[in-house]
A and B are shown apart, each in its own frame.
Chain A
Amino acid sequence: MSTRLATGGRLLNKAKPVNFTFNGKNLRGYEGDTLASALLANDQMLVGRSFKYHRPRGIVAAGPEEPNALVNLGAEGRFEPNARATTTPLFDGLQAASQNHWPSLEFDVGAINKHLSRFLPAGFYYKMFMYPRAAWKHVYEPFIRQSAGLGKAPKATDVDTYEHFYAFCDVLIIGGGVAGLHAALTAGKSGARVIVMEQSDHWGGRAPVDGGTVDGQPVDKFVDGMVTELETLENVTLRRNCMGAGVYDHGYVLGYERLRDDSPHVQGPRHRLWRVRAAHIITATGAIERPLSFAGNDIPGVMLAAAVRDYLVNHGVSVGDRTVVVTNNDNAYLTAIALKHAGLDVPAIVDARVLPQDSQLMEQAKALGIRVMMGHGIASVKGGKRVTGVEICAQAGEGAVLEEISCDAVAMSGGWSPVVHLWSHCGGKLRWDTTQACFSPDVDNPPLGADGMGFVTPAGAASGVFALDDVLNDAFAAADGVMTSLGFDVPRDLKSPEAERRQDAPMMPVWLMPQGASVKLREKAWLDYQNDVKVSDVRLAAQEGFVSVEHAKRYTTLGMATDQGKLSNINGLATLAGALDADIPSVGTTTFRPPYHPISMASIAGEARGTVFQPIRRTPMHDWHDTHGAEWEPVGHWRRPYAYKQGGESTYDAVMREVTNTREKMGLLDASTLGKLIVKGPDAGRFLDMMYTNMMSTLKVGKCRYGLMCSENGFLIDDGVVARFDEDTWLCHTTTGGAERIHGHMEEWLQTEWWDWQVYVANVTEQYAQVAVVGPNARKALEKLGGMDVSKEALGFMDWADGELGGFKVRVYRISFSGELSYEIAVDASHGQAFWDALMVAGHDLGVMPYGTECLHILRAEKGFIMIGDESDGTIIPQDLGLHWAISKKKEDYLGKRAQERSHMTDPNRWQLVGLETTDGSVLPDGAYAVAEGENENGQRNMQGRVTSTYHSPTLGKGIAMGLVLNGPDRMGETLIFPGTDGKEYQAKIVNPVFYDPKGEKQNV
């Protein structure tokens, strides 16, 4: 039984009991508990089922390395799957549920998989589900989906908020144990800007549990002293519950701060993602204890020795009444001693080593009356959902049982691995430490910054030193070195404090227990608890030729679970090395990638959700449109009215009404989104002649000209009307989505190719609200407003003029994208809404109605005007669209000219723009292809054209379309067949693309 002890629990506030539920059962813990410690206190050792065999799984660790205790947390808007019980703080009302079992945690049908384990070996996905192919979709995948998977996907929207925070510092210290704190003091007192991130809620790391004395005082008091001192330093920031998640190039670090995980109902962000730029990073990330590989090491009740100690000291929890300690090092003796001091029984310490003489800790243990069995190991653990005993064997043998000891917990220790993840994220190399059997940072090969110097330094246990005095000395040396390299002066009187030295006996690497374990035992010796990878699986992989650690990992799934192999990796690769008869360093490790430990997806998104998921650009008249029935269409980041619905009208009816009204009376279009670039300078004319396919330098002041822009490769990238303001100033209109892109395009050419040309470009798109006043009544409305002369004589087609209308300072362009009499009028954006209102009043008796982008599209299509993005798609050149008239023959050069002379561009078989008219007046499906005879080399039907724009024209009372067709302009009158995705075949005749007013009489009145 695991239970709460009457005394102990240094992190608990026993005055504050906390109620929570696990699988619906009401349980009780204390403030200061983690979910894991509270579950153990309630004898809830069984917390889940493994991924593949659905084996019962209990809590193994006490920190982020925990592989088993993953739970579904919370409900609805606060539901979160795969939460680690060991890192989840307990709070009142917490709801947790175990994962990956059916129908219940105690009785699980999937557990029969374990009897099938012979048929589910390493690489079983690849082996079993290859044939027949169809079975994958219908048999295997549904089966795997049902049986695999851990937590459930959340269904409700997350109700919490999240944020980012940008911070800068000289030194970022990851880890608030004794090493991190001591390094922080050294750096802080040297005057550096320091940030310390500690993943847990408390300072000091393992030291307060493991004990020892520093400068004559107990280490926990020493930690308190350091924290108190650090808090007085203004240049030091201490953050608890903030995990260094990843180290990236240029000293960039992500920190994951959990602000409300223990108080979900308090207002404020739940998580904060720190985005830090540090001149240097110190990784004081400590070390993680390794499990031992013996048969039955996955049975609930088998735990890491240090975790047993943590729960005892930190939370006053005993994981069992009788705990057998099994180890290959001295550190685990601390657990036995602590248990004994707490009045619990330790029937034996099973130590794989054979040593000439007892170390300090061994003597202590023996003095407490604990039986120490040197040279022994565990042959097998007895029990199902809970440990009931262990079978003892000789470590050197093959597992013959010498003795059975009954117990309800096993505390194991296979040695310690420094947490090298953050050191390695950005390329820090590792070296194999033979004495301690672990990989530690190779300080001669650190991750390098832009200056070629290392920007990460490990400190303390993270650099491979484990004794308290070594840890402190190492941290001081690390901080001292970093300070010096950054140019700070470390005060001379600063030195490392003296810690009491304990003489430990050396550890002995043990990768399998007993070392000659039979296949039967190896099949029960787990390496990866979460993904069910055993010693036998890794050996099989090696046998089948997976000699690279990266391949063996993927083949066996070792270390691929949500814990990323924090416990299993070293044991797994040592097993692989053993099977290959290779040494461990030559096998190497898999790659360490951020994040160190899973972080919430929402913290990565930060504030970017809901209203600010993406910036939406609004014109000055946006709100008016919104209150007048606008149905919105996204155009770039802008929102433009697609149509304005009146009464109960359908969108389609609204569009038809808008077209007819604009053709017959008068329409208003918010054209503010069109790009407006001022191009000015002595070389501006020359520059624009290069930018556009046609001549802009010859444009007269006061005039407008339509122009096309191509990329260097000849493809059409933008179009718009250009106006000449004065001798060396032009205004270029771009498409709505093109303003920033074309501005960048111009700047790029000016800065890289024609850097000596005297031209400046300014993007003034948003300075103006622009309104297109369109239709036969347009002039009357403007005359009603009064002010400048807008007559045909004073302001002809393709003229522009500055003036006043209705008291507004305006610039009027007589341009038309509709074929009607049309004025595009620009006013300063701050007056845009007022000007729009004035036009609505002036046009009231003239039949004014606003119109949206779909109406605009139909109006232009009726006139055969192309639209960038409809008729062009990045592969179209102006010549394809019959725009030869807008391509200057006189100019020596323009961007795209040479490209357009390439053989493929001059191929007469390039599809050409034509108009299309259905034979029955219906509307062609958008994007439909015209089929031709025969099949191509891939056995597909040959094509001879496609639809680029298609609408119902209320003006003409029939469907009209534009399309690109093989030799189209030469095939007028021919009928093409367009199969639709609706199963119907559409017939359309090739016609002139200008359907309406081909002579242009209406716009020129």
Chain B
Amino acid sequence: MSEPVSALKNISDLNGIAAIREIGPLGMITLRGDLSDRAVQDAAKTAGGANAPDQRKINAEGDGGVAWMSPDELLILCRYDEVPLRMTNLQAGLSKGHALAANVSDARAVFEVSGPRAREVLAKLAPVDLTPGQFEPGMMRRTRLAQVPAAFWMTDAETFRIVCFRSVAQYVFDLLKIAAQPGSEVDFF
């Protein structure tokens, strides 16, 4: 098997008011099920290494974690090469009930936007209140970046991790680059 290739081969742009990097590929598994079901919660915890989070939250550390996606959907995060094993474990844990687990690692592109002005760059593209205190590490938003769906969370006070569909990776990279163009500081946050 060939080496997995991310959508933009880990392209980066460090010339703007925030640093933009395509990272990944990362492991991602969509899990749909009854989130109040113990079996689903346990399976998610085993696969993601963290408890299932509350609404609009994420429990993540490094490349692993569990994110809330909707009232019946979680996103399991892990290393790309661990997906097959995690999927097997998940399927085993979920075999008795009704749930759906699907590997979506390759369907996504992942970006990191970092720096003191990372919040400003995101606030140019997503209708989300990114004021410190209103949006902090541990929170998760499914939203849009300009014209495409996206989700993001913060890995530290100045770093966002953004997930979008693989097919629009170039669009999202171009968007981020424009939003971070030199001279576009907002001085809002």
Interface flags for A518-537 (1: CB within 8 Å of B; 0: not) read 00000000000000000000
Contact (A767, B106) CB under 8 Å given A161-B181, A165-B188: yes
Pick from B102, B108, B179, B188: contact of A762, CB under 8 Å: B102
Pick from B131, B168, B178: contact of A615, CB under 8 Å: B168
Tally chain A residues at the interface, Cβ within 8 Å.
Answer: 53
Interface contact tally, CB-CB below 8 A: 148
- Pairwise interchain contact A616-B170, C-beta atoms closer than 8 A: yes
Contact (A615, B147) CB under 8 Å given A762-B102, A767-B107, A831-B1: yes
- Pairwise interchain contact A616-B171, C-beta atoms closer than 8 A: yes
Pick from B106, B127, B148, B178: contact of A607, CB under 8 Å: B178
- Pairwise interchain contact B167-A617, C-beta atoms closer than 8 A: yes
- Pairwise interchain contact A830-B1, C-beta atoms closer than 8 A: no
Docked Cα-Cα span, A680 to B120, in Å, equals 41
- Pairwise interchain contact A266-B183, C-beta atoms closer than 8 A: yes
Docked Cα-Cα span, A266 to B130, in Å, equals 28
Cβ < 8 Å to B, chain A residues 803-853: 807-809, 828-831, 833-835
- Pairwise interchain contact B106-A168, C-beta atoms closer than 8 A: no
With an 8 A cutoff between CB atoms, is B32 at the interface?
yes
Pick from B2, B72, B184: contact of A163, CB under 8 Å: B184
With an 8 A cutoff between CB atoms, is A642 at the interface?
no
Pick from A269, A829, A833: contact of B181, CB under 8 Å: A269
- Pairwise interchain contact B186-A619, C-beta atoms closer than 8 A: no
- Pairwise interchain contact B186-A165, C-beta atoms closer than 8 A: yes
Pick from A616, A765, A834: contact of B2, CB under 8 Å: A834
With an 8 A cutoff between CB atoms, is B124 at the interface?
yes
Interface residues of A, dominant DSSP: mixed
- Pairwise interchain contact A268-B183, C-beta atoms closer than 8 A: yes
Docked Cα-Cα span, A762 to B170, in Å, equals 24
Interface flags for B146-189 (1: CB within 8 Å of A; 0: not) read 11100000000000000001111111001100110111111010
Write the nearest CB–CB distance from A235 to chain B, whole angstroms: 10
Query: What chain B residues lie within 8 Å of A272 (beta carbons)?
Result: 186
With an 8 A cutoff between CB atoms, is A990 at the interface?
no
Write the nearest CB–CB distance from B95 to chain A, whole angstroms: 11
Docked Cα-Cα span, A970 to B168, in Å, equals 49
With an 8 A cutoff between CB atoms, is B4 at the interface?
yes
With an 8 A cutoff between CB atoms, is B12 at the interface?
no
- Pairwise interchain contact B4-A269, C-beta atoms closer than 8 A: no
Contact (A612, B100) CB under 8 Å given A266-B183, A830-B25, A831-B4: no
Query: What chain A residues lie within 8 Å of B46 (beta carbons)?
Result: none
Query: What chain A residues lie within 8 Å of B92 (beta carbons)?
Result: none
Write the nearest CB–CB distance from B94 to chain A, whole angstroms: 11
Docked Cα-Cα span, A829 to B106, in Å, equals 5
- Pairwise interchain contact B168-A163, C-beta atoms closer than 8 A: no
Docked Cα-Cα span, A809 to B175, in Å, equals 34
Pick from B129, B168, B169: contact of A168, CB under 8 Å: B129
Most buried by B among A168, A619, A765, A829: A829
- Pairwise interchain contact A760-B147, C-beta atoms closer than 8 A: no
- Pairwise interchain contact B188-A167, C-beta atoms closer than 8 A: yes
Contact (A608, B123) CB under 8 Å given A615-B168, A617-B167: no
- Pairwise interchain contact A612-B175, C-beta atoms closer than 8 A: yes
Docked Cα-Cα span, A765 to B167, in Å, equals 10
With an 8 A cutoff between CB atoms, is A466 at the interface?
no
Query: What chain B residues lie within 8 Å of A638 (beta carbons)?
Result: 167
Query: What chain B residues lie within 8 Å of A831 (beta carbons)?
Result: 1-2, 4-5, 106
- Pairwise interchain contact B5-A764, C-beta atoms closer than 8 A: no
Query: What chain A residues lie within 8 Å of B125 (beta carbons)?
Result: 164, 607
List residues of chain B with CB under 8 Å of any chain A CB: 1-7, 25, 30, 32-33, 72, 80, 98-100, 102-108, 120, 123-131, 134, 146-148, 165-171, 174-175, 178-179, 181-186, 188
| Contacts A268-B183, A607-B146, A828-B4 supplied; 11 other A-B pairs, CB < 8 Å | A166-B126, A166-B128, A168-B129, A606-B146, A607-B178, A608-B147, A612-B178, A617-B167, A760-B99, A764-B104, A828-B105
Instruction: Please list 24 pairs of residues, one from A and one from B, whose beta carbons are closer than 8 Å in the complex, sorted by A's number.
Output: A161-B181, A163-B124, A163-B179, A164-B124, A267-B181, A267-B182, A268-B182, A275-B127, A612-B171, A615-B146, A617-B167, A681-B98, A760-B98, A761-B100, A762-B104, A764-B102, A764-B104, A766-B107, A766-B108, A766-B166, A767-B102, A768-B106, A830-B6, A831-B4
